[in-house]
Amino acid sequence: MLLVDNPPRMHWQQRMLEFDFNFYQVDEHTPYWCEDRHYRFTTEQIDEIDKATECVHELCLQAVEYVIENDLLDLFQIPQSAHHFVKSSWNNKEQYLYGRMDFSWNGIHPPKLLEYNADTPTSLFECSVIQWDWLKQHVDRGDLPNNADQFNLVDELLIDRFRLIKEDKNLRSNLLHFAACTESEEDLRTIEYLSDCAIDVGFDVHIMDIEAIELSYEHTFVDDQGRRIVNMFKLYPWEFMLREEFGAYLEEADVMWLEPAWKSILSNKALLPILWKLFPDCPYLLPAYFDTDQEARLMESKVKKPIFSREGSNIEIWKNGIQLEKSDGPYGEEGFIVQEYSPLANLGCGSTVIGSWLIGKVAGGMSVRESSTLITEDTALFVPHIIHG
């Protein structure tokens, strides 16, 4: 695992705009996309992250089964009124699309799972399209070796996954809605990209703002053109949906949701202590407990995370009983878990998190994010990678 400088492409900002990647900068002074360096991995290292990702995903599915069978949804702060809805989505084997695991990894020791963004992960478009275009242009210019590759099958796997969903015998309409908070350029570009993949397999698609969904008198959901919503991909967290006013009608409305309701378990930090309880010998997991557990109080080097935390909010990092860092945010009332502190690799430009993408059960892409702090937040730099050697 090496950090290597490379020359920026001529007019690379214009190239970003050609792909509607308008958020390549956080603001005028803060970049989001990194153009002047990349991470270099060997084939063996990529095989390791691939193996770790698919192994942990399989354990996660077993953990969901355990939670459902043992009626542990209260630990995940899922409202009692939604328990039947969540359980049914799992028992009915409702289809799912994608997710991203975040690992602490230095390219040498086994990757360690930090969390599983299994419901609404973003940075998918830049992982799949933008960094692949970056690779191809640099190879064509001779800046990178001709045999340089990238862990990036996201586009092909997404199309295959949408094809599988389209062929599901329970699918009742060819129209697939995509909804997000469209004021966010990142969220909008994510669902635009996903909808393009769905179109490739023959879906009719409609993109809309999540706020435009309405509840009909028949307790079905309708779009901004008055059409009933039967199939919807929503880039909106289940923990929000289950608590909002229309959440009482989610089961009655009879929608094929992507992601399905059982992802409210998989995307929740309460999954981490469940995984550790069930699979303590897995080399890719870190010890984790609910903060009310005795073991949590005895840990001196740990990361304290709210069950619903997103984008690095309300995180505390402790080492040898001393607090190293703390972030603000709106989470915490729902409770906390603690996880053993696994320092992030730092090759000189920031703390590095490896994001490993799953499409269905298949690991097929990787993101590398750098942060100037120990806590990776949503403004962390996206740095492309290559495979060589």
pLDDT at position 12 is: 97
Percentage of the chain exceeding pLDDT 70: 100
Say yes or no to pLDDT of 332 above 90.
Answer: no
pLDDT (tens digit per residue) in 180-212: 999 999 999 999 999 999 999 999 999 999 999
Residues 31-47: pLDDT tens digits? Answer: 999 999 999 999 999 99
Confidence of residue 331 (pLDDT cuts 50, 70, 90): confident
**Cβ atoms within 10 Å of 365's Cβ, excluding its own:** 26
Q: What is the pLDDT of residue 312?
A: 84
Render pLDDT for 77-97 as a digit per residue (tens, 0 to 9): 999 999 999 999 999 999 999
Confidence of residue 385 (pLDDT cuts 50, 70, 90): very high
> Which pLDDT band holds residue 309 (cuts at 50, 70, 90)?
confident
Mean pLDDT of the chain: 96
pLDDT of residue 389: 84
- pLDDT score recorded for residue 110: 96
Q: Does 311 have pLDDT greater than 90?
A: no
**Domain-wise residue ranges, the chain:** 2-268+344-387, 287-340
Q: What is the pTM of this model?
A: 0.95
Rounded-to-integer distance, Cα 285 and Cα 263, Å: 20
- CA 352 to mean position of chain CA atoms: 16
Q: Which among 388, 383, 359, 389 is positioned nearest to 153, based on CA atoms?
A: 359
CA distances from 300 to 18, 102, 303, 318, 341 (A): 49, 23, 10, 7, 9
